[in-house]
Amino acid sequence: MNTIAIINIAKAELGLDDDTYRTLLVRVTGKTSLRQMSERQRIDVVEEMKRKGFRIRASRAAKPLPKAFQPHSRLIHALWKNCHSLGVIENPSREALRAFCKRFVAHGLDHVVVDPDLLDRAQATPIIEALKKMEARGKAAQSGAGQ
């Protein structure tokens, strides 16, 4: 939590002039500057501003969460995207990737949804190997067509 930014936003939203703002800081922490305060003191200032009516809202431009957290999951996504750019895969959608992964993890189980982001390393390994082979075929086809 970036308390300095939150305090500055709260100051503006509460419409505090500089004198009122400094008075609040001194009353809560005994200090007139955010830079002189510890993180705990800045949190106390935020709490006081909340008491006065400030509400912390989620950023409107919140960054989307990454699709994959594990390295093997990121590799699956990267290989899938690269295979599409090489023309080996026609449908680059997430649903198509899930269907592809399902063939390796839960083939024949219609009620199971397989998300590549939730696979463990052992489940991801055959998928990665298959995608690497597909990628190699795509690269070979491109180099053969370029000659």
Residues 6+ away with beta carbon under 8 Å from 66: 74
pLDDT at 139 over 80: yes
- Six-digit token pair at 72? 């093997």
Higher pLDDT, 5 or 146: 5
Question: What pTM, to 2 d.p., does this model score?
Answer: 0.52
Residue 43, burial from CB neighbour count under 10 angstroms (0-12, 13-18, 19+): middle
pLDDT at 118: 85
pLDDT, tens digit, 9 for 90 and up, residues 57-116: 766 655 554 556 788 999 999 999 999 999 999 999 999 999 999 988 877 777 777 888
- Give tens-digit pLDDT for 6-31: 999 999 999 999 999 999 999 999 99
What is the model's pLDDT at position 65? Answer: 46
What pLDDT is stored for residue 108 in this prediction? 75
Phi-psi category of residue 64: left, alpha or beta, with phi > 0 → left and psi -120 to 50 → alpha: beta
